[in-house]
Amino acid sequence: MEHVVYAALLAIAIAAGVWMWRQQRRAVERLARERDAIEVEERRMFDFLHGLGEKLQADRSAGNLHRYIVDGVAEVIKGDAGILYLIDPETNRLVPVYQSAATAPVLPVPPEILAERNDADAESQYRSYIRLSSLIPAESFIGRVLREGGVLHVPDLSLSQGFAGSDPDPRFIAGVRFIATPLVYARRAVGVLIVTRRGGDDFSRNDEEVFGSIAEQSAFALGSAIAHSDAAEKRRFERELNQASEIQRVLLPRSAPELRDYEVAAEYKAARHVSGDYYDYVRVDEDRYGIAIGDVCGKGIAASLIMAMCRSNLRSRAPENLSPASVLHSVNHSIFPDIREDMFVSLLYLILERGSKEVTVARAGHEPPILFRKETGATEVIEISGLAAGIDEGPVFKRNVKDYRFQMESGDVLFLYTDGIIEGENPKGDEFGIERLCRMLVEHHELPAQDLVNTVLSELRCFSEGTAQSDDITLIAIKKR
């Protein structure tokens, strides 16, 4: 009997040993498989990172880089689909820039799409809905990734109340594994990377670590590409601005007209590459010359384009027209339909006549000209009515803009200028002012016209004491011989 008991105990011990050996062997095999899987995953990750570096060097185009990142990371961690969101710096919204061929169900499904009975049509509508939806980070589930940082892992979207609510429809999201992380470059979030897996095993801890590592490198690649693109765009924009500046300078007179009765000089300084200031000399007929000066309310390219329109219209209507007001009426009528509601143009146009002391001028909201009388040794500001161009299409403008005539004797000097002169500021915020401009005209009226202009601009530079020029500057001196 004892032999039977011993035999039974021995059998049990052997069985237990075999069972333990098998369990240990299975554990070793499982660990080996996990190790192999980790090695394979890490090898895919290194291949991806190597390819990402090559992609960044060889092709910085945004579309290709986005596709490589999404499809590449999905392949590394064996995801079914993925999507990349980038933050629009102007709106601060998350914008989808690439989604994989398979749809990543990253947004709750709208009721109207759930109501679609045809699965293929519903899938197509849902994919389009994701592609066209930009997200406010503070109001979206995906925005939670930005708010919390790190890797967000949801084992099943259909069980997540934060994603689908308390009564989710499982049509598109049942069994979908979700993993996402913010993309941060230079301590600034640039977007969100998401990968999903439908069914199968959940993402492992190693998947999360690999995903996080890939996201860090992808963020660097994206940030570098964005910086490169921004720099290239800035260089392109600067080239275009320089070209626009050169074109605008070509449109300005190269030299003052040589008139028997008058000495004319002008200077123009743009606050930026292109300007809203304008001046021009136009031959009216054999005995008359027109001089125009103007300023668009605004700066930059838009202002320069409006001013180019004014120049073209004035030049086409000035010849043989002895009425400055009539010329300005035509300019206003031409530009009014095309000018923005928040813009207007101040213009002043005068005609000088050979062998005559009379000057005819019309003013459309521009700064009033300053006239120095040699006989009295004083200046007078010629205040005449005038409405800026681009505000009224016709009747009101015509009633306000009329011809005005005055006499200039030998030694008299007339200043035409834009507000960049009198509104120039020093570091204390004081303006150069019209009184200072009048005083300089009195003090330096005997100088030749060009020297007089240069002296005023030199005084303005000294007055500003290095303060950056904030507005365009144009000054014209007309001296009666």
Q: State the average pLDDT over residues 442-467.
A: 94
pLDDT band of residue 170 (cuts 50, 70, 90) is: confident
Domain membership of residue 23 (yes or no) is no
Q: Do the beta carbons of residue 204 and residue 173 sit within 8 Å?
A: no
> 154 is written with which tokens?
């949801």
SS3 453: helix
Q: State the average pLDDT over residues 137-165.
A: 86
* Shared domain check, 288 and 189: no
* Shared domain check, 56 and 139: yes
Q: Read off the pLDDT of residues 63-118 as tens digits, 9 standing for 90 and up.
A: 888 888 898 888 888 899 999 999 998 899 999 999 999 999 998 888 888 888 88
* Shared domain check, 222 and 271: no
Number of domains in the chain: 2
What integer pLDDT is reported at residue 217 of this predicted model? Answer: 84
* Shared domain check, 219 and 255: no
Q: Is the pLDDT of residue 58 over 80?
A: no
Burial of 272 (0-12, 13-18, 19+ CB in 10 A): middle
Residue 140 CA, chain-centre distance (Å), reads 26
Domain membership of residue 11 (yes or no) is no
Answer left, alpha or beta for residue 199, where phi above 0 means left and psi between -120 and 50 means alpha.
Answer: left
What integer pLDDT is reported at residue 409 of this predicted model? Answer: 96
What integer pLDDT is reported at residue 271 of this predicted model? Answer: 79
Q: Return the percentage of the chain with pLDDT > 70, whole number.
A: 83
SS3 100: coil
**Nearest in space to 447 (alpha carbons), one of 263, 293, 256, 261:** 263
* Shared domain check, 92 and 215: yes
Q: Read off the pLDDT of residues 375-414 as tens digits, 9 standing for 90 and up.
A: 999 999 999 988 999 998 878 999 999 999 999 999 999 9
Report the distance separating Cα 194 and Cα 200, nearest Å: 18
Give Cβ neighbours of residue 239 (< 8 Å, ≥ 6 apart). Answer: none
Average pLDDT, the chain: 85
What integer pLDDT is reported at residue 328 of this predicted model? Answer: 96
What integer pLDDT is reported at residue 379 of this predicted model? Answer: 97
Q: State the average pLDDT over residues 332-346.
A: 86
* Shared domain check, 185 and 87: yes
Q: Do the beta carbons of residue 339 and residue 294 sit within 8 Å?
A: no
Domain membership of residue 418 (yes or no) is yes
Domain membership of residue 14 (yes or no) is no
Asked which of 195, 230, 265 is the last residue of a domain, the reply is 230
pLDDT band of residue 423 (cuts 50, 70, 90) is: very high
Domain membership of residue 25 (yes or no) is no
* Shared domain check, 142 and 52: yes
Report CA-CA distances (Å) from 112 to 116, 129, 136.
7, 11, 22
* Shared domain check, 378 and 430: yes
Burial of 18 (0-12, 13-18, 19+ CB in 10 A): exposed
> 268 is written with which tokens?
């123009």
What integer pLDDT is reported at residue 370 of this predicted model? Answer: 97
Q: Tell me, what CATH number does 468's domain have?
A: 3.60.40.10
Greater confidence, 209 or 169? 209
* Shared domain check, 473 and 356: yes
* Shared domain check, 302 and 226: no
Q: Is the pLDDT of residue 215 over 90?
A: no
Asked which of 173, 199, 230 is the last residue of a domain, the reply is 230
Q: Read off the pLDDT of residues 4-55 as tens digits, 9 standing for 90 and up.
A: 666 666 667 676 666 676 666 665 555 555 555 555 555 555 555 555 555 5
Asked which of 230, 263, 278 is the last residue of a domain, the reply is 230
Report CA torsion sign: 392, 398, 400, 401.
positive
Question: Residue 410: enclosing H or E segment and its boundaries?
Answer: none
Q: Tell me, what CATH number does 100's domain have?
A: 3.30.450.40
Q: State the average pLDDT over residues 111-132.
A: 89
Burial of 377 (0-12, 13-18, 19+ CB in 10 A): exposed
Domain membership of residue 245 (yes or no) is no
Per the structure, the complete domain to which residue 198 belongs is given by 34-230
Q: Read off the pLDDT of residues 293-326 as tens digits, 9 standing for 90 and up.
A: 999 886 667 777 888 889 999 999 999 999 999 9
Q: Read off the pLDDT of residues 347-370 as tens digits, 9 standing for 90 and up.
A: 999 999 999 999 999 999 999 999
Q: Read off the pLDDT of residues 235-270 as tens digits, 9 standing for 90 and up.
A: 876 776 666 666 667 778 888 999 999 999 999 988
SS3 37: helix
pTM over 0.85: no
* Shared domain check, 431 and 358: yes
Domain membership of residue 13 (yes or no) is no
* Shared domain check, 219 and 258: no
Q: Return the percentage of the chain with pLDDT > 90, whole number.
A: 48
What integer pLDDT is reported at residue 4 of this predicted model? Answer: 63
Q: Is the pLDDT of residue 419 over 60?
A: yes
